[in-house]
Amino acid sequence: MARRGRAAGGTATQARLAATARALREVVAHRELRRAEAAFALTITSETAFTVALGIVAFREGGAGAVGLVALLRTVPSALGSTVLTPFADRTRRELVLAVATLVRAAAVGAAALLFAAGAPAWTIYAAAIVATVGVTIFRPVHSALLPLLCAETTTLTSANVVRGMVEAAAMLAGPVLAGVLLALAGPTAVLMAAAFLAAATALPLLGIRSPAGRRPGPARVGTVLSEVGEGVRVVAQHRDLGMVFGLGFAQTIVRGALNVFIVVVAFDLLDRGDSAVAAFAAAVGLGGIFGSFGSSLLVGSRHLGKWLAIALVLWGGPIAVMGAAPAPAAVFALLMVVGLANAVIDVPLFTLPVRLVDDAVLARAFGLFEAMIALGVGLGSVASPVLIAIAGLRAALVVIGLLLPLLAVASWRALRALDGRLEVRDEEIRVLRAVGMLALLPVPAIEHLASRLHRRTLPAGERVFEQGDLGVSAFVIVGGTADVMGDGRLIARLGPGDAFGEIAVLQDVPRTAAVVADSDLDLFELDRDDLLEALGRHQPSADAAYAVVAGHLSNYRPATVGA
């Protein structure tokens, strides 16, 4: 029996690995996704190199307190900028928003390099860094909202987020390594100039992306944008599951902000190493992320992302707590690799679960608020850690900050497992909707939203779903059973599982063109008219497919209620 169990487990793991490989190949082969991932790689490489150089500049100016203060000064304006500016991404093409943000960032980083080279006051360099940080803070939420538009399946979206985790891990290694080499050869100015060049290069792959077109709101006005910011805040505040996921992400970023300071202080004060140690420890996080990204690829198709979020929280904070008890260079490097591994894993649930919980109409705003929370969390951790170090000492501060995430993981375990259970039910609903031709191409946020709005109905054999001439307030998808379509008193068609009906009246805004009668006990999903029209209106290929289906039906049977 045990042998059979091990064989079954091995078969399941092999099947998951095969599915993961297929999904990853799909991402690489997908032109728009490939370009989006390349843009993300360039952005993170630029940002990590910039952060290493800026941390060294700040520490030389004023020690650990200056590192924390600069981080806070960067994050507060960027948090506000992210919240206010991301609504524009819900009103226009998201890839264009990304291109503009990255060009602004490139200009700001380039200005910081020139100011440092000219010996300008430190505050002018920090001001340029603030502008650069606003650009990168906008980048991630808009990029997170762009990926779902390029994916037709939830598994593809998970794969895209896994690949993005791999890309981020590699970039978090490449950026510090690049910074370390340039610091040794030419100093901080060369690092800042390289970061500016990489930021500017990010625009090239973005300009080759064309996200699916659909009806979008009109031009934004200041009042409209501010009201939409408020709407994004309300969505997060009123959605218990989303609030929990974002809250845990916020806690993780507090620890991340503290770690940014700890890396510099441990290198200079605790271990008495120099610039090279800062770059090496930052690279350790990236190196661990590379290993973690391969493990996170097994999350493709997983129905337990909530559980993995809790596990990643433990792996993120635990090594930092241990670091306080083992302050040796090799131990610190190894523990930071574990943090990097956890960072690769945690991004998959943090950026996949919200897509499954929020309508695409407010997705960029929700991610924008999350990015603002991330920025504030990093700032809070960055400014709190020097205070904690001054009060309790570096080693005690590492233990206190490190234990925060494991304790939160334990406290939220049951709620995260319950969320997994609810989304597992929705997976079955999505599977049924995907079988309908006009819905098969909908992006992930749209199909998720439709699944969350479904009404389930059961009817006994012989009962009528609706009569010919009734108002068309909804469409239906058959889950189980069969139904007869009766038009002008004659049988038009017999429908079974996976078939949709009622869409003609909804799309043409006419009375029901035929009656539908349950031929056997009938299990149905009912789609509200407004929800269906909104989903199709935001994705032109699906709208075209739906109207083609309607045209096909009317070519075979056209009652008097529909004009010629």
For residues 316-344, average pLDDT:
85
Check whether residue 459 and residue 389 sit in a common domain. Answer: no
Least confident of 93-102, 198-207, 254-263, 480-489: 93-102
| Helix (H) / strand (E) containing 492 | strand 490-495
Is 410 a residue whose pLDDT tops 90? yes
Tell me, yes or no, whether 141 lies in a domain: yes
CATH number of the domain to which 144 belongs = 1.20.1250.20
Considering 367, 394, 429, which residue would you say is the last residue of a domain? 429
Check whether residue 461 and residue 313 sit in a common domain. Answer: no
Distance CA 360, CA 453 (A): 14
In this prediction, residue 222 carries a pLDDT of 45
Comparing C-alpha atoms, which of 558, 417, 436 is closest to residue 501?
436
Query: What is the Cα 421 distance to its own chain's centre?
Result: 20
Listed ranges 22-26, 91-95, 132-136, 415-419; the one with the highest mean pLDDT = 415-419
Mean pLDDT of the chain: 79
Using alpha carbons, list the distances in angstroms from residue 79 to 133, 297, 379. 9, 30, 10
Distance CA 72, CA 376 (A): 8
pLDDT-based confidence at 415, cuts 50/70/90?
A: very high
Phi, psi of 480 (to 5 degrees): -155, 150
Least confident of 98-112, 127-141, 202-216, 366-380: 202-216
Comparing C-alpha atoms, which of 41, 273, 272, 284 is closest to residue 177?
284
CA angle 442, 443, 448 (to 5 degrees): 90
Distance CA 264, CA 55 (A): 7
In this prediction, residue 408 carries a pLDDT of 95
Tell me, yes or no, whether 88 lies in a domain: yes
Check whether residue 420 and residue 336 sit in a common domain. Answer: yes
Check whether residue 162 and residue 239 sit in a common domain. Answer: yes
Check whether residue 348 and residue 242 sit in a common domain. Answer: yes
Tell me, yes or no, whether 228 lies in a domain: yes
In this prediction, residue 541 carries a pLDDT of 73
Listed ranges 17-21, 157-161, 490-494; the one with the highest mean pLDDT = 490-494
- Give yes or no for a contact between 331 and 375, defined as CB atoms under 8 angstroms apart: no
Least confident of 32-36, 104-108, 336-340, 422-426: 422-426
Is 468 a residue whose pLDDT tops 50? yes
Check whether residue 387 and residue 470 sit in a common domain. Answer: no
Which domain, by its residues, includes 168?
A: 32-210+222-429
Tell me, yes or no, whether 80 lies in a domain: yes
| Tokens, residue 421 | 């259970």
| Helix (H) / strand (E) containing 523 | strand 522-528
| Tokens, residue 181 | 């080499």
| Helix (H) / strand (E) containing 554 | helix 540-556
pLDDT tens for each residue of 236-291: 676 788 889 989 999 999 998 888 888 878 777 666 666 677 777 878 887 888 77
Altogether, the residues listed in the chain come to a count of: 564
- Give yes or no for a contact between 439 and 542, defined as CB atoms under 8 angstroms apart: yes
Is 97 a residue whose pLDDT tops 70? yes
For residues 200-210, average pLDDT:
87
Strand 522-528 relative to strand 455-459: parallel, antiparallel, unpaired?
antiparallel
Q: Which long-range contacts (CB under 8 A, 24 or more apart) does 53-56 make?
A: 53/179, 53/183, 53/188, 53/191, 53/192, 53/195, 54/112, 54/125, 54/129, 55/260, 55/263, 55/264, 55/278, 56/183, 56/188, 56/264, 56/275, 56/278
Tell me, yes or no, whether 276 lies in a domain: yes
Check whether residue 161 and residue 291 sit in a common domain. Answer: yes
Q: Which residue has the tokens 């599951």?
A: 241
In this prediction, residue 1 carries a pLDDT of 41
Least confident of 14-23, 162-171, 214-223: 214-223
Q: Give how many domains the chain has, as a whole number.
A: 2
Check whether residue 306 and residue 360 sit in a common domain. Answer: yes
3-state secondary structure 457-501: EEECCCCEEECCCCCCCEEEEEEECCEEEEECCEEEEEECCCCEE
pLDDT over 70, % of the chain: 79
CATH number of the domain to which 542 belongs = 2.60.120.10
Is 89 a residue whose pLDDT tops 70? no
Spatial neighbors of 470 by CB under 8 A, at least 6 apart, are 505, 511, 512
pLDDT-based confidence at 312, cuts 50/70/90?
A: very high
Is 301 a residue whose pLDDT tops 60? no
Distance CA 59, CA 52 (A): 11
In this prediction, residue 227 carries a pLDDT of 59
- Give yes or no for a contact between 241 and 305, defined as CB atoms under 8 angstroms apart: no
485, β-bridge pairs: 493, 516
Check whether residue 351 and residue 399 sit in a common domain. Answer: yes
| Residue with more model confidence, 456 or 558 | 456
Check whether residue 458 and residue 379 sit in a common domain. Answer: no
Tell me, yes or no, whether 443 lies in a domain: no
Check whether residue 183 and residue 78 sit in a common domain. Answer: yes
How many other C-beta atoms can be found within 10 angstroms of the C-beta atom of residue 522? 24
Tell me, yes or no, whether 55 lies in a domain: yes
- Give yes or no for a contact between 162 and 293, defined as CB atoms under 8 angstroms apart: yes
Check whether residue 464 and residue 354 sit in a common domain. Answer: no
pLDDT tens for each residue of 469-486: 888 888 899 888 999 998
In this prediction, residue 310 carries a pLDDT of 94
Distance CA 173, CA 181 (A): 12
| Tokens, residue 279 | 């770059």
Tell me, yes or no, whether 16 lies in a domain: no
Using alpha carbons, list the distances in angstroms from residue 231 to 14, 87, 363. 44, 10, 11
How many other C-beta atoms can be found within 10 angstroms of the C-beta atom of residue 207? 13
Is 557 a residue whose pLDDT tops 90? no
